[in-house]
A and B are shown apart, each in its own frame.
Chain A
Amino acid sequence: MQGFDPKPLSLAVLLAFAGPALADKQLGEITVNSGKSVGARPVLRDEIIATESLGARELEKTGATMLTEALDKRPGISVQTECSICNVRNVVLNNLPGRYTTLLIDGIPIFSSVSAAYGLDSVSLGGVERIDISRGAGTSLIAPEALAGSVNMVTRRPAAHEFKAVQQFGSYGHRNTDLFGARVFDGGALTANLNYNTHDTVDADGNKVSEYTGYQRKLGGVGFFLDDIGGFDIRGRLDIVDEKRMGGAMGDNYSKVKADETGNPFRWSRGKNGSPSDAGWVAVGADGVVGTGDDSFVNYNDGLGGMSEIIFTDRQQFVSSATRKLGDGTLRLAVGLARHKQDSYYEHSIYKAKQTQYYLEASTQQPIGATLVTGGVTYRYEDLKSRGAMANGTPNNGIDNYEYKTPGLFLQAYHAFLDGDVEVNASVRYDDHNVFGGITSPRVNLLWNHSHELNSRFALGRGFRAPTSFFEQDHGILDTSRIVREIKEAEISDNASYALSYAGDRLAWVGSLNYNRIKNMALLDSGATDPLSGLPITVFTSARKPVTVVGGDLTVTYKLTPTLETTVAAERFSYHFSEAGTLAFARPEARAYLRLDYESGPWSAMARGTWTGPMDLKKFYDYANNPRYNFDGTRKMDKSPSYWTVDLRGEYRLDKRWSLFLGVDNLTDFKQSDKESMLWVDRDGAIDVTQIWGPNRGRFVYGGVKFAL
């Protein structure tokens, strides 16, 4: 007999307790299924921490070409665009700011401030086995800064030679080419993937200022898997990113836009509540009311460059882990390296940043009696070095430089009670941060198996995060002479969550409740003035009062027929904050989801509708202290309208090698710009790009062909 009878404790622990740090798909001759999603919606994995897994097939079915597209439109998970002319996109968990979501590649945290801003769009889906999403502080033993949760991309170890090519074409000049190849040899495998993805700038309201940022993205990567080198199972991947994007001005002639610094190439009268004249817009003055005596008109004269953001990204990243048997347990070593360069042009300002990150980990998991104990040490290094110049040419080199060194250690214990019906996992981390000092992060997780199908998961956890730079919160404020740092303490998050899940043969459902309270939330005041020089400065400080976000969601999936499955889900969140800028982007109080998945013979199809409820724009965007206006001087909406978006995708398998697919995103062509511009003007006539609550792109039709060998 090959293989072995798995010990319930060790199997359960490898599945349930190790998390990304130690979970492994192969246990000798036994493949751990991990309960990973083979369905069409996020489902809980068999882990003590509630984890939703999206398998490769699910990623394909949504038509996603990048990580941010793959994760959007799911209960408790969404993607927030934070700038209408550069399209910074963050993954939002439990409706908390995107910087609190930590991205891990094969369990290794290797993204931070600058890299998370534009880098998330450049995470290739090539060779991915699944994406695991865990919501709540402390969900990751090795990433305490994940105050909202973590997203872990797990690379697939190929079992046979493979070649796969996908060519996709779409609206707005979209082209996406994916190539993936794998070569398997005795005791290992090598993989390679290439991706080329391009998309035009999109201007729906005709003012010649884009709402959707155009890009050209080239990604390449190689992976290796060595099954037994001195007893170690080693895997790793190297990824290279080269991306250029521009928004504001249309097209992709970057040098022309940068050189165009005077005149008015835009049409400010176009679009909803456009200005009375193409030449500029209305400033309502101190009384805040249009049509009264103190109105004035702002003539725009800054050329294409004055309204454009151009960002070039150059990134290399390497992650690798080695796992072997040690005594009755396992030993794991992991390393991550990343170099991220950004060369950016923000409305005449220049910002060039270099970020370096290292991650080292050594950990072991050992049974001690009936308890499984994991202990480990980590060392994290990250720095940021920037050079820049204000719009008037004044250098502001290094204004957001930082260097963080964080050695840490962690200890975790797992024990099953009542014949395995109750499993408890408790852990504590201690990190010695070179700026913020020693920080302790405890967490407790409990899994209660009420029956084979029904179980509860409770979690209490704390996480901390060292604020990195102002870039993470507002990259568009670079027209500042210096930054005054008044931050004394790290951001601290306390999280409590409960999830109840039922997994039947045709019916499955998951309900979860989440409570998040964040203290010392980092805040920016980019409107301050140096009392001595009179130059603009930025004050980087902490919120005085905590921010609390409470929410719940329920997802129900039912297999209507052998070929048709439906998913209905809803989420509701409430936000408690009193200081402007803490929750800097509007989030909805409610969202609902309806989805149908069809699969029969060579056909597969997906239809999903996503309803987004109103957002309290007045509160989130602090109209009380900083009212926002349209170009014609009218007030911005207090509350956004609710809206539906509908996405469809179908695929037909011609034979084992060839498939054709066709899809439509945003079928009903709902765009925010039809109701309200993403641009806004303050009382004094200054313009900004952050009035965002709805889709920035209309109907998007795409299709293509897949070839697999």
Chain B
Amino acid sequence: MPRSLLLLALLTLTPAVFAVDGPSTAKMPLDFELSDGHRFVTLAALPALPTVVNFWRADCPPCVREMPELAALARAGQVRVITVALQRPAETAAAPAAIQAALQPPLLSLHGPGEPRGLLARFGNRAGALPHTVILDTGRRACAQHTGEINRRWLAEALANCSKT
């Protein structure tokens, strides 16, 4: 095997040997650095608030159905609502007008990375199913999450439970 291949093998294998997650990442503060189209938004840099993080795509019917509920929650102003589209901005822009309206502030609309596997796994969704919703407490720790369509009742109960913890 040529020397360059060996070098590549060593370069790629080295981090694999040492990088193994600890078992308690679920209770660690969560963070991300994602784009809103104009700047990178870091979760840790935002004011400490209970936060609903929702992962979606415009071609995912349950994702689109639950979007107005999330917009209403954002407008109520009790919690921060962040949506993370796992699509290119141009693809999200093709979503119906009602969804575009729902994505307006105070809801914070972000776009995920091209390869969303790591981000989704960090937020408790290793399987990569959508929609996926995570509720974070003021310390950015996950206190509730659901994969699949959510509704007002689930949001209310989950937020109430989180406020107790």
By a CB distance below 8 angstroms, the chain A residues around B114 are 37-41, 43, 508, 557, 559, 565
- Bound-state CA distance A76–B23 (Å) is 35
B139: which A residues are within 8 A, CB to CB? Answer: none
Would you give the 0/1 interface string for A34-55, flagging 1 where the beta carbon is closer than 8 Å to chain B? 1101111101101000000000
Q: Which of B112-133 contact A (CB under 8 A)?
A: 112-122, 126-131
CB distance from A286 to the nearest CB of B (A): 38
CB of B94 closer than 8 Å to a CB of A? yes
B24 to chain A, nearest CB (A): 12
A32 beta carbon closer than 8 Å to chain B: yes
- Count of residues in B whose CB is under 8 Å from the partner chain: 65
Q: Which residues of A contact B62 (CB under 8 A)?
A: 2-3, 29-31
Determine if A15 and B91 form an interchain contact, defined as CB atoms under 8 angstroms apart.
no
Residue from B37, B121, B153 in contact with A563 in the complex, judged by beta carbons closer than 8 Å = B37
Residues of chain B within 8 A (CB-CB) of A500 are 12-13, 15-16
Say whether A454 contacts B115, CB under 8 Å: no
Q: Would A450 and B21 count as touching, CB distance under 8 A? A: yes
Known contacts: A2-B62, A452-B25, A562-B35. The answer to whether A33 contacts B113 by CB under 8 A is no
Q: CA separation between A454 and B150, bound complex, in Å?
A: 30
A29 contact from B11, B126, B148, Cβ within 8 A: B148
Which B residue's beta carbon lies closest to that of A129?
B59
B128 to chain A, nearest CB (A): 4
A1 touches B37 (CB 8 A): no
A453 with B146: in contact, given A508-B113, A511-B11, A552-B8 (CB under 8 Å)?
no
Determine if A503 and B116 form an interchain contact, defined as CB atoms under 8 angstroms apart: yes
B9 contact set on A, CB distance < 8 A: 498, 513, 552
Return chain B residues, CB-CB under 8 Å to A506. 33, 40, 113
| Max chain A C-beta neighbours (<10 A), residue from B93, B116, B119, B127 | B127
Chain B residues with CB below 8 A from A656, complex form = 93-94
Set of chain B residues within 8 Å of A554, measured between Cβ atoms: 8, 11-12
* Residues in A whose Cβ lies below 8 Å from that of B117: 35, 44, 46, 453, 503
Contact of A513 among B8, B35, B63, B90 (CB under 8 A): B8
Tell me the bound Cα distance from A322 to B148 in angstroms: 24
B120 near A454: Cβ-Cβ < 8 Å = no
Stretch in B45-53, B70-78, B81-89 with 4+ CB within 8 Å of A: B81-89
B-binding segment of A6-14, A105-113, A210-218, A352-360: A6-14
Task: Tell me if A550 counts as interface (CB < 8 A to partner B).
Answer: yes
Kindly state the separation between the CA atoms of A313 and B90 in the bound complex, as whole angstroms.
37
On whether the beta carbons of B32 and A38 are closer than 8 Å, the reply is no
A486 contacts chain B at the CB level, 8 A cutoff: no
Picked from B60, B63, B119, the residue with its CB within 8 Å of the CB of A505 is B119
Nearest CB in chain B to that of A27: its residue: B129
Q: For the side of the interface on A, what is the size category?
A: 35 or more
**A594 → B minimal CB distance (Å):** 17
Give the nearest-CB partner of B9 in chain A: A513
Distance (whole angstroms) from the CB of B139 to the closest CB of chain A: 19
In contact, A562 and B37 (Cβ under 8 angstroms): yes
A12 and B127 alpha carbons, distance in the complex (Å): 5
Chain A residues with CB below 8 A from B20, complex form: 421, 450-451
Mask, A449-464, CB within 8 Å of B = 1, is 1111110100000000
Question: B90 and A599: CB pair below 8 A?
Answer: yes
B18–chain A nearest beta-carbon distance, Å: 9
CB distance from A220 to the nearest CB of B (A): 25
Question: In the complex, which of the residues A38, A454, A511, A563 contacts B86, with contact meaning CB atoms closer than 8 Å?
Answer: A38
B36 within 8 A of A: yes
Asked whether any CB of chain B lies closer than 8 Å to the CB of A263, the reply is no
| A30, A453, A512: the one within 8 Å of B121 (CB) | A453
Determine the chain B residues whose CB is within 8 A of the CB of A519 once the complex forms.
Answer: none
Q: Can you list, as one digit per residue, whether each of A499-519 has a CB less than 8 Å from chain B (1) or not (0)?
A: 011111110100111000000
Identity of the chain A residue whose Cβ is nearest the Cβ of B32 in the assembled complex: A505
At the interface, yes or no: B61 with Cβ under 8 Å from chain A?
yes
Judge whether A511 and B37 touch: CB under 8 Å. no
Does A33 lie within 8 Å of B35, measured CB to CB? no
A221 CB, min distance to chain B CBs, angstroms: 20
Question: A46–B127 contact, CB under 8 A?
Answer: yes
Nearest CB to that of A43 among chain B residues? B115
Q: Is the CB of A559 within 8 A of B90?
A: no
Check A37 against B115 for contact (C-beta < 8 Å).
Answer: yes
- Across the interface, which residues of A come within 8 angstroms of B130, CB to CB? 30-33
Residue-by-residue, is B1-42 near A (CB-CB < 8 Å gives 1, otherwise 0)?
110110011011101100111010100000011111111100
Tell me whether B89 and A599 are in contact (CB under 8 A).
yes
**For the complex, what is the distance from the CA of A29 to the CA of B150, rounded to whole Å?**
11
Known contacts being A31-B60, A451-B19, is A504 close to B94, with CB within 8 Å?
Answer: no
Q: Could you tell me if A30 and B129 are in contact, using CB atoms closer than 8 angstroms?
A: yes
Does residue A574 face the partner (Cβ distance < 8 Å to B)?
yes
**B37 CB → nearest A CB, Å:** 6
Interface residues of A in 371-408 (CB under 8 A from B): none
Contact in complex: A504, B118 (CB < 8 Å): yes
Instruction: Decide if A482 is an interface residue (CB 8 Å cutoff).
Output: no
Q: Which residue of A lies closest to B60 (CB)?
A: A31
Residues of chain A within 8 A (CB-CB) of B91 are: 38, 57
User: Closest 8 interchain pairs by CB?
Assistant: A39-B114, A3-B148, A453-B118, A562-B35, A452-B121, A511-B12, A503-B118, A11-B127
What are 18 A-to-B residue pairs whose CB atoms are below 8 Å? A1-B153, A3-B148, A11-B127, A29-B62, A30-B130, A30-B147, A31-B129, A34-B128, A38-B112, A43-B114, A43-B115, A46-B126, A159-B59, A451-B19, A452-B122, A503-B118, A601-B37, A656-B94
| Residues of chain B having any CB pair with chain A under 8 Å | 1-2, 4-5, 8-9, 11-13, 15-16, 19-21, 23, 25, 32-40, 55, 57, 59-63, 86-91, 93-94, 112-122, 126-131, 146-151, 153-154
